[in-house]
Amino acid sequence: MSARPANPHLANDILATTASLIEEVGPEGVTMRAVAERIGYSATTIYLYFENKERLLNEAVNRAFDWFADRLERAQDEALPAARIRQAARAYLDWGLDNPGMYRLMFEWGYLGDISPESVFARRASWRRSRSLIEFGVSQGTFRRDLDSAVAADLMWATCHGLTSLAISGRMFGNPGTVDATVVRERSAALADALVDTWLSDWTGPPRDL
Amino acid sequence: MSARPANPHLANDILATTASLIEEVGPEGVTMRAVAERIGYSATTIYLYFENKERLLNEAVNRAFDWFADRLERAQDEALPAARIRQAARAYLDWGLDNPGMYRLMFEWGYLGDISPESVFARRASWRRSRSLIEFGVSQGTFRRDLDSAVAADLMWATCHGLTSLAISGRMFGNPGTVDATVVRERSAALADALVDTWLSDWTGPPRDL
DNA sequence: TCCCGTACTTAACGCTGTTTAGTGACCTGC
DNA sequence: GCAGGTCACTAAACAGCGTTAAGTACGGGA
């Protein structure tokens, strides 16, 4: 590991293959031999590029965190604060439901190892963006004057995670496979919207526009 | 399995040992041989009582769901609706943080297998209790008139799960071990309280009593 | 005493992550 | 042109995993 073969291309292939296997067979189904076979090398070759399986998965997770943060950042083209925060929540849910295997590895296998400083930084940046967005909404009069932006941002993230996690494990709206995935997606999004609704200064009823 | 030895006491021991191992070494650290060694039998004996490891864990999970529902039900001695719903949220968080291994198995290993009809029923009952509690709060004037009790109950559960899950994996307030557990517990509880706060009809600021 | 069923164990299989000991191709120096 | 060394990779093995097949010890009835 410390002195890796001079073939960064292969390291990349290993990571990409690992990421696709994580989605195909779930984090627990990934084996060193399966990764190796798919890239056409022997299992021991992987150990020339990664110290062990944990490090390999950890690196895959760190890449995914960057990818995830990227997606959240991109989903910011709405003009008004409420619409924009809802857009961010939807982007969160969508990413998690599109990449359930990786999502579980990222957020539920915390004992795997600490995430990279870059990923921590990216996540903090996303959180700060949410927070300042909420603050902006408060200053614009969209959200209630008394809304604490830090608390609201924390709640937003925790709720998005809760919805995504429950949707993936099938513990909220029925088991996956038995319930239509798009229904789960819509109900989750509706609940995230509902959270934002409670922050509106002029909120007087069930979901509406803006 | 289908024709088990006439020793229900041993089946019980296996389940109890499995449950404690889940907490001690995490769900992924549990092995048939470890369970067997602890109860003083050989690993194959377990197969006389449970079809395989998945069924064993599944049964342990179902017991835990009952235990969890029990705890939530017990935490209902507060008189006023807002205090009582907060109490339920705290009981939820506390149970999860007291039993992180089992909690992960229950809510994050959804692919393990469907939970038992009894557990599904118990969870639905808990959810309905939350909902009617919120409805009662609305009728009492504690919560905003326009609050949808079904949506609020869903949000409460999703948020409690999100907070618990993030607290366990260390993805919200820092990695476990590096951050004081009681701090994580308090911050999670404060956020759950904040969610309830937004439902209050006379809510005009940061956390207060009731 | 023989027999049978019950409760349990031993030994093995194929899988896993990981380590040790190579193998073969290529580059360098003479 | 060829020895020596390095670099990228592999084959074989180890311990541990879930699981199965075969076997053992014992107790009760005929």
Check pLDDT > 80 for residue B26.
yes
Specify the pLDDT at position B120: 80
Q: Locate tokens 């940061």: which residue?
A: B206
Of B109, B87, B110, which Cα lies nearest the Cα of B210? B87
Q: Rounded to whole angstroms, what are the CA distances from B72 to A158, A166, A173, B115?
A: 21, 19, 20, 18
For the record, the structure tokens of A164 come out as: 């995504």
Chain A: residue whose CA lies nearest to B27? A109
Contact yes or no for B107 and A155 at CB 8 A: no
Contact yes or no for B160 and A155 at CB 8 A: no
Enumerate the β-bridge partners of residue B176.
B179
CB atoms within 10 A of CB A45: 17
Provide, for chain A, the percentages of residues in helix, strand and coil under a 3-state DSSP scheme, each rounded to the nearest 5: 70, 0, 25
Specify the pLDDT at position B175: 67
Calculate the CA A10 to chain-centre distance. 26
The whole-number average pLDDT for the span B167-181 is: 80
Contact yes or no for A175 and B114 at CB 8 A: yes
Instruction: Report, in angstroms and rounded to the nearest whole number, the Rg of chain A calculated over CA atoms.
Output: 20
Neighboring chain B residues of A176 at a CB cutoff of 8 Å:
110-111
**Rounded CA gap, A162 and B11, in Å?**
34
CB-contacted nucleotides of strand C (7 Å):
6-11, 15-21
Interface test with A, best of B28, B61, B106, B163 (most A CBs within 10 A): B163
Residue B202 and residue B144 in contact, taking contact as beta carbons nearer than 8 Å:
no
Q: Locate tokens 């041989």: which residue?
A: B33
**Rounded CA gap, A16 and A22, in Å?**
10
Residue A55 and residue A1 in contact, taking contact as beta carbons nearer than 8 Å:
yes
Specify the pLDDT at position A22: 97
Interface test with B, best of A120, A172, A184, A202 (most B CBs within 10 A): A172
Contact yes or no for B206 and A146 at CB 8 A: yes
Specify the pLDDT at position B4: 73
Residue B85 and residue B43 in contact, taking contact as beta carbons nearer than 8 Å:
no
Q: What is the mean pLDDT of chain B?
A: 89
For the record, the structure tokens of A177 come out as: 């496979």
- pLDDT band at residue B2, thresholds of 50, 70 and 90? very low
Instruction: Report, in angstroms and rounded to the nearest whole number, the Rg of chain B calculated over CA atoms.
Output: 20
Specify the pLDDT at position B124: 86
Torsion of the alpha carbons at A139, A144, A148 and A153, rounded to the nearest 10: -90
The stretches in chain A having pLDDT less than 50 are 1-2, 207-210
Question: Over the stretch B35-62, which tens digit does the pLDDT of each residue have?
Answer: 999 999 999 999 999 999 999 999 999 9
Check pLDDT > 80 for residue B116.
no
Phi-psi region of A18 (alpha: psi -120 to 50; beta: other; left: phi over 0): alpha
Check pLDDT > 80 for residue B205.
no
Contact yes or no for A161 and B166 at CB 8 A: yes
Specify the pLDDT at position A210: 44
Of B186, B134, B192, which Cα lies nearest the Cα of B162? B192
Name the residue among B111, B114, B206 with its Cβ closest to that of A148. Answer: B206
Q: Which domains does chain B have, with CATH numbers?
A: 1-51 (1.10.10), 60-197 (1.10.357.10)
**Rounded CA gap, B5 and B208, in Å?**
58
φ, ψ for residue B143, nearest 5 deg = -100, 155
Residue B97 and residue B164 in contact, taking contact as beta carbons nearer than 8 Å:
yes
**Rounded CA gap, B62 and B33, in Å?**
22
Measured between CA atoms, how close is A6 to chain B, in angstroms? 34
Torsion of the alpha carbons at B177, B207, A190 and A19, rounded to the nearest 10: -10
Chain B: residue whose CA lies nearest to A168? B110
HSE-up of residue A124 (Cα within 13 Å, Cβ side): 9
Specify the pLDDT at position B122: 81
- pLDDT band at residue B112, thresholds of 50, 70 and 90? low
Specify the pLDDT at position B121: 83
DSSP code per residue over A92-147:
HHHHHHHSHHHHHHHHT-GGG-PPPHHHHHHHHHHHHHHHHHHHHHHHHTSB-TT-
Nearest protein residue to the C1' atom of C19, measured from CA: A44
**Max Cα separation, chain B?**
63
The whole-number average pLDDT for the span B172-191 is: 86
Check pLDDT > 60 for residue B198.
yes
Specify the pLDDT at position A12: 95
**Rounded CA gap, B185 and B96, in Å?**
10
The whole-number average pLDDT for the span B153-174 is: 92
CB-contacted nucleotides of strand D (7 Å):
7-12, 16-22
Name the residue among B111, B148, B170 with its Cβ closest to that of A110. Answer: B170
For the record, the structure tokens of B160 come out as: 């409690």
Neighboring chain B residues of A199 at a CB cutoff of 8 Å:
198
Residues lying close to strand C (Cβ under 7 A), chosen from 36-95 of chain B, are 41-45, 48
Name the residue among A104, A114, A159 with its Cβ closest to that of B108. Answer: A104
Question: Over the stretch B119-141, which tens digit does the pLDDT of each residue have?
Answer: 788 888 889 999 999 999 999 99
Chain A: residue whose CA lies nearest to B104? A108
Contact yes or no for A191 and B160 at CB 8 A: no
Cβ within 8 Å of residue B180, ≥6 positions away: none
